[in-house]
DNA sequence: GACTGCACGC
DNA sequence: GACGTACGTGCAGTCC
């Protein structure tokens, strides 16, 4: 069979389909007309054209390179109606179900992606069909490429071939851009020449050939008004031509071989069609059994539910912060009937509260941590959580952005309204009326129930069920306790710092204004750039997208050039401390005198935790100035202290373990400083020949290994050239042959399996590992190398936390775990416990996992986090 | 409200 | 040659 490529302009056809069909929707209120139209089109194309290659291109983002030519490009366009924009994710899902590739590229429009692929196809003499609702694309027509233009609806089509274009206009497709240059395009807000429409433009082009030649022959054009308009708007016309010209060399990192059409299995389609309720299409297909969302039966009372076995439970609150915001009703289902009860009703229902606190009764949830915290707030100690759909989704693929139940359910062919659809967003967020809310909560809990078995199976297949059951789920309960507990922060200590900082910042401001000659906003990189690089004429080293860069490394390079620079650097440092920490933290202190951060367990791609509102994982430590912030973090009771225990070099120990590199293992087994050891190996010298500089460089390389930085990154951190940094890495890998071997193996593994794994079987998919784009691939390779190291370190500390929480209950220790900062745990402890507790924690952490090098934990304590160093 | 530049931690 | 290069969160400024 001869190769045939089909390229679809996704955005333009989605619009066409949307406006061509009535506003259909499924039972859950999701609009489906654009998706339906798109489906009809795909079916028709596949049947009529039998393509071997297929791509749907989408516009990316709001601005493109064309906006830099003409700021008002596409100005005055109506906003995409929400009924349509909510269908775009479904259209993408649809395309994926057909195993058709889709692609979008920042700064470019779908047109340019299509143009680029069409050019490549033409160079390979491959027949190409472009399908669009936008006449612009006709400029791409040639002997190999035809453009199908949807006239009305989506299946009524004009076929533009070179002959068709010639017949229509009298000239070939190459002149379409000249035509646009003259007549403009109202829909894209391309100006063209006033008074020139299609008729005049065609006439001019037939007479003179191109736009440039029309301009060259202005003297020959006698019509007074036309001549005047052409003369006055030459520049507009040329710019309009440029705007209308499709880029056929867009930097796409896909090629023809990437868009081969694979056979689509029907079940994905059926699953989606069922969810969308495309009954006619389903009737035409051989239906195979798939999970279909059950009908929602809302019981009148919770008493109608069968509480003898497992249930799915869903409780939520208004907005994100479940530690403080209003608790919303609880939904529960036994798999048949679903009930929704208010927070007040829960508390007063003895049988229900007993059920929720019964460890022997299994519950399936979405976000165990949130459930447990909200229950705690209602005075219920929730027990028996058996499965967390949200954690499962993260473990199956951490790159999934977890938004709400709807998002996760959508991945399994169940479609329900999103949180945003029900509650709105931003300032307009509101709790909907009772029936709508009940219905929504009911649907969500039902989805959780149905997803549980399915996702358990998926985890089992990946050998990740244990990771869920024994690590992430128990950890989420530990984290719930930590968040609820909070850490005491001394407001007065912060206020004192604030006053002190204010004085110093004011002084610096005065100095800076004096040196600049006038006042300006130092916090504005834009204004600062003007002062430094225009008014003071300092040499600008780097530019950002929007102007001069004023980042630290740039300013450091200018330190000796002008007195203002050190003042600005000092100002920056203090202003950051003041706004983010001293003032920022004060705002977060609750009535209990504590700060309650929330840990995000399903975000970081490597398996680490993150912390929000506030982020307590980036409290300053490097410079003493900032480190003093930690003085405000204290124990909650007199006689108690802050105790901090951190893993020493956990990532490099993991690396030694995974690679079994002899000299690295040797260093850890004999307590030799790892950076010194690295320097010895890389520079091939004895222990006592390693000077401070060599150690510093070795440390930077180790840092690079741990974080997966590039030669560029290393060159930046060491202040050396890029080739020198590359050579450094090479020397390193030669000195540690097993590490080199590991790096090669792990990249192969990623190529073979599509993912890499940690010691506890956490996965990260690396789709770009085979990318043709050099940067994307380089990034993917470093990700592949680094994730098992950083992710395994995350596994270890998480395991230590789970073990700690389980074991501490068997003791009399009163100590409380408060925070986790990637490789360290922060506790508050009664002073008299310290000695014993320290040993206990050390034992938990060092023996969390047995590696072939020892894990080493160092700890300290004091009146505040500052003293626990 | 969304985006950018910058800066803090690991 | 590829032009942007660990991961996160939060602040202020800017533009719409």
Same domain, A501 and A419: no
CA separation for the pair A210, A179 (Å, rounded): 9
**Per-residue pLDDT at A411:** 85
A225-236 per-position pLDDT tens digit: 778 788 878 888
Q: Which of A453, A486, A519 delimits the end of a domain?
A: A486
Residue nearest to nucleotide B2 (CA to C1'): A62
Closest to A14 measured CA to CA, from A29, A28, A26, A31: A31
Strand B nucleotides in reach of protein CB atoms, 7 A cut-off: 1-10
Q: Is the CB of A61 under 7 A from strand B?
A: yes
Residues A478 and A523 reside in one and the same domain: no
pTM attached to this predicted model: 0.76
Q: Can you give the CATH number for the domain in which A617 is found?
A: 1.20.1060.10
Please identify residues in chain A, positions 424-463, with a C-beta within 7 angstroms of any atom of strand B: 425-428
Question: Are A764 and A787 spatial neighbours (Cβ–Cβ below 8 Å)?
Answer: yes
Among all strands, which nt has the closest C1' to A585 (CA)?
C10
Give alpha helix (H) positions in A300-433.
Answer: 343-347, 350-357, 368-377, 389-396, 405-410, 419-423
Residues A535 and A454 in one domain: no
Among protein residues, the one whose C-alpha sits closest to the C1' atom of C11 is A580
In a domain, A86, yes or no: yes
Distance of A401 CA from C10 C1′ (whole Å): 20
Q: Are residues A480 and A520 in the same domain?
A: no
A740 within some domain = no
Is position A407 within any domain?
yes
Q: Which of the nucleotides lies closest to A617 (Cα–C1')?
A: B9
pLDDT at position A807: 98
Number of domains observed in the structure of chain A: 3
Return the pLDDT at A263: 77
Protein CA at A446 to nucleotide C1' at C9, angstroms: 34
Distance CA A484, CA A595 (A): 10
Residue A553: CB atoms within 10 A of its CB come to 12
Which pLDDT score is estimated for A594?
95
Residues A76, A40: one domain? yes
Q: Do the domain assignments include residue A63?
A: yes
Domain containing residue A161: CATH number? 3.40.50.1010
- Name the nucleotide with the smallest C1'–CA separation from A722: C5
- Determine the Cα–Cα distance for residues A864 and A861; give it in Å rounded to an integer: 8
Nearest residue (CA) to C1' of C4: A775
User: What is the per-residue pLDDT for A440?
Assistant: 94
Positions of strand C less than 7 angstroms from a protein CB = 1-15
What is the reported pLDDT for A290?
A: 44
Q: Which of A224, A239, A258 is the last residue of a domain?
A: A258
Is residue A531, in this structure, part of any structural domain at all? yes
User: Which is nearest to A558 in space by CA: A541, A575, A535?
Assistant: A541
Residue nearest to nucleotide C2 (CA to C1'): A774
Domain match, A505 and A443 both: no
- pLDDT per position as a tens digit, A860-869: 999 999 999 8
pLDDT of residue A305: 95
In angstroms, the CA of A557 and the C1' of B6 are apart by 17
A557 Cβ contacts chain B strand, under 7 Å? no
Instruction: Tell me, yes or no, whether A629 lies in a domain.
Output: yes
Residue nearest to nucleotide C3 (CA to C1'): A775
Is residue A214 a part of any domain in this protein?
no
CB A821 within 7 Å, strand B: yes
- Domain boundary (A465, A486, A507) is at A486
Residue A691 Cα distances to A682, A685, A719, angstroms: 13, 10, 18
Q: What is the pLDDT of residues A479-510, one digit of tens each?
A: 999 999 999 999 999 999 999 999 999 999 99
Number of H helices and E strands in chain A, helices first, is: 38, 24
Asked whether residue A204 is domain-assigned, the answer is no
Task: Report which of A62, A59, A63, A68 is spatially closest to residue A242, judged by C-alpha positions.
Answer: A68
Whether residue A435 sits in one domain with residue A497: no
Residue A522's domain comprises 489-595+604-634
Q: Looking at the structure, tell me whether residues A64 and A164 fall in a common domain.
A: yes
CA separation for the pair A235, A241 (Å, rounded): 10
Whether residues A558 and A527 fall in one domain:
yes
Residue indicated by tokens 């998919």 = A765
Q: Residues A7, A117: contact at Cβ < 8 Å?
A: yes
List of chain A residues with pLDDT < 70? 1, 61-63, 71-72, 74-79, 152-155, 187, 286-293
Claim to verify: residue A507 and residue A445 sit in the same structural domain? no
For residue A341, the domain's CATH number is 3.30.420.10
Phi, psi (degrees; rounded to nearest 5) at A857? -115, 130
Structure tokens at A681: 């190996």
Please indicate, yes or no, whether residues A344 and A419 belong to a single structural domain of this protein.
yes
Q: Which residue is nearest to nucleotide B10 (CA to C1')?
A: A822
Please tell me whether any atom of strand B lies within 7 Å of the Cβ of A572.
yes
Instruction: Measure, in angstroms, how far nucleotide C11 C1' is from residue A513 CA.
Output: 22
Are A389 and A365 a contacting pair, CB within 8 Å? yes
Do A431 and A505 belong to one domain?
A: no
Q: What pLDDT is stored for residue A288 in this prediction?
A: 39
What is the spatial distance, in angstroms and rounded to an integer, between the CA atom of A67 and the C1' atom of C10? 30
């Amino acid at each position: 069979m001869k190769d045939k490529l089909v390229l679809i302009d996704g955005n333009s056809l989605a619009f066409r389909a949307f406006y061509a069909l009535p506003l259909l929707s499924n039972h859950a209120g999701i609009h489906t007309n654009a998706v339906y139209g798109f489906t009809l089109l795909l079916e028709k194309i596949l049947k009529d054209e039998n393509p071997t290659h297929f791509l749907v291109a989408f516009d990316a983002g709001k601005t493109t390179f064309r906006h830099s030519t003409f700021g008002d490009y596409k100005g005055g366009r109506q906003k995409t109606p929400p009924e349509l924009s909510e269908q775009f994710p479904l259209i993408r899902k649809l395309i994926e179900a057909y195993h058709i590739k889709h692609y979008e590229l920042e700064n470019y429009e779908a047109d340019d992606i299509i143009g680029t692929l069409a050019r490549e196809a033409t160079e390979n003499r491959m027949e190409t069909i472009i399908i669009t609702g936008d006449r612009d694309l006709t400029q791409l027509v040639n002997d190999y490429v035809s453009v199908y233009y949807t006239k009305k609806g989506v299946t009524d089509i004009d076929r533009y071939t070179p002959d068709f274009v010639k017949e229509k206009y009298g000239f070939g497709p190459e002149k379409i851009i000249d035509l646009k240059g003259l007549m403009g395009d109202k829909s894209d807000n391309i100006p063209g020449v006033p008074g020139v429409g299609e008729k005049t433009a065609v006439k001019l082009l037939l007479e003179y050939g191109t736009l440039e030649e029309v301009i060259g022959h202005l003297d020959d054009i006698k019509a007074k008004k036309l001549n005047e308009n052409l003369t006055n708007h030459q520049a507009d016309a040329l710019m309009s031509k440029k705007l209308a010209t499709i880029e056929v060399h867009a930097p796409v990192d896909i090629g023809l071989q990437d868009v081969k059409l694979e056979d689509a299995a029907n079940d994905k389609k059926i699953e989606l069609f069922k969810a969308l309720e495309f009954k006619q299409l389903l009737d035409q297909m051989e239906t195979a059994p798939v999970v279909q969302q059950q009908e929602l039966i809302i019981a009148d009372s919770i008493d109608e539910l069968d509480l003898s076995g497992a249930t799915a439970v869903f409780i939520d609150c208004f907005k994100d912060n479940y530690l403080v915001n209003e608790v919303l009703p609880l939904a529960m289902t036994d798999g048949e009937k679903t009930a929704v009860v208010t927070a007040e009703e829960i508390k007063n229902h003895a049988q229900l509260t007993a059920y929720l606190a019964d460890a022997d009764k299994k519950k399936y949830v979405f976000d165990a941590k949130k459930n447990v915290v909200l229950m705690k707030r209602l005075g219920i100690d929730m027990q028996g959580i058996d499965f967390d759909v949200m954690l499962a989704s993260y473990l199956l693929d951490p790159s999934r952005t977890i938004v709400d139940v709807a998002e996760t359910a959508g991945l399994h062919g169940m479609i329900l309204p999103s949180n945003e659809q029900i509650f709105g967003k931003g300032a307009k967020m509101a709790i909907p009326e009772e029936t709508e809310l009940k219905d929504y909560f009911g649907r969500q809990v039902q989805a959780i129930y149905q997803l549980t078995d399915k996702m358990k199976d998926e985890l089992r297949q990946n050998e990740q069920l244990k990771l869920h059951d024994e690590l992430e789920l128990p950890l989420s309960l530990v984290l719930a306790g930590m968040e609820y507990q909070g850490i005491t922060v001394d407001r007065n200590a912060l206020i004192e710092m604030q006053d002190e900082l204010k004085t110093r910042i004011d002084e610096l401001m005065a100095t800076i204004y004096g040196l600049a000659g006038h006042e300006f906003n130092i916090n504005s990189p834009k204004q600062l750039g003007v002062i430094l690089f225009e008014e003071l004429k300092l040499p600008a080293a780097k530019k950002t997208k929007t102007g001069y860069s004023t980042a630290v490394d740039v300013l450091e390079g200018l330190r000796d050039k002008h007195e203002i620079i050190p003042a600005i650097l000092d100002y920056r440092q203090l202003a950051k401390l003041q706004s983010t920490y001293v003032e920022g933290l004060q705002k977060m202190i609750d009535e209990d005198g504590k700060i309650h951060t929330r840990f995000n367990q399903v975000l970081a791609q490597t398996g680490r935790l993150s912390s929000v509102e506030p982020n307590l994982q980036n409290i300053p430590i490097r410079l003493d100035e900032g480190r003093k912030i930690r003085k405000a973090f204290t124990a909650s009771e007199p006689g108690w202290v802050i105790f901090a225990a951190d893993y020493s070099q956990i990532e490099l120990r993991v690396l030694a373990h995974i690679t079994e590199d002899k000299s690295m293992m040797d260093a850890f087994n004999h307590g030799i400083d790892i950076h010194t050891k690295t320097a010895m190996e890389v520079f091939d010298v004895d222990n006592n020949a390693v000077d401070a500089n060599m150690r510093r460089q070795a440390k930077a390389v180790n840092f690079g290994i741990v974080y997966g930085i590039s030669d560029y990154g290393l060159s930046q951190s060491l202040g050396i050239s890029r080739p020198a940094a590359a050579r450094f890495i090479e020397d390193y890998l030669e000195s540690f042959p097993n590490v080199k071997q590991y790096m090669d193996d792990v990249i192969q593994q990623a190529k073979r399996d599509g993912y890499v794994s940690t010691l506890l079987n956490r996965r990260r998919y690396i789709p770009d590992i085979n990318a043709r784009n050099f940067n994307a691939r380089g990034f993917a390779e470093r990700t592949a190398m680094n994730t098992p190291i950083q992710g395994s370190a995350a596994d270890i500390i998480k395991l230590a936390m789970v073990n700690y929480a389980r074991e501490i209950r068997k003791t009399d220790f009163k100590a409380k775990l408060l925070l986790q900062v990637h490789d360290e745990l922060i506790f508050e402890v009664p002073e008299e416990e310290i000695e014993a507790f320290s040993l206990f924690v050390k034992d938990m952490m060092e023996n969390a996992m047995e590696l072939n090098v020892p894990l080493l934990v160092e700890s300290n304590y004091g009146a505040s986090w500052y003293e626990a160093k």
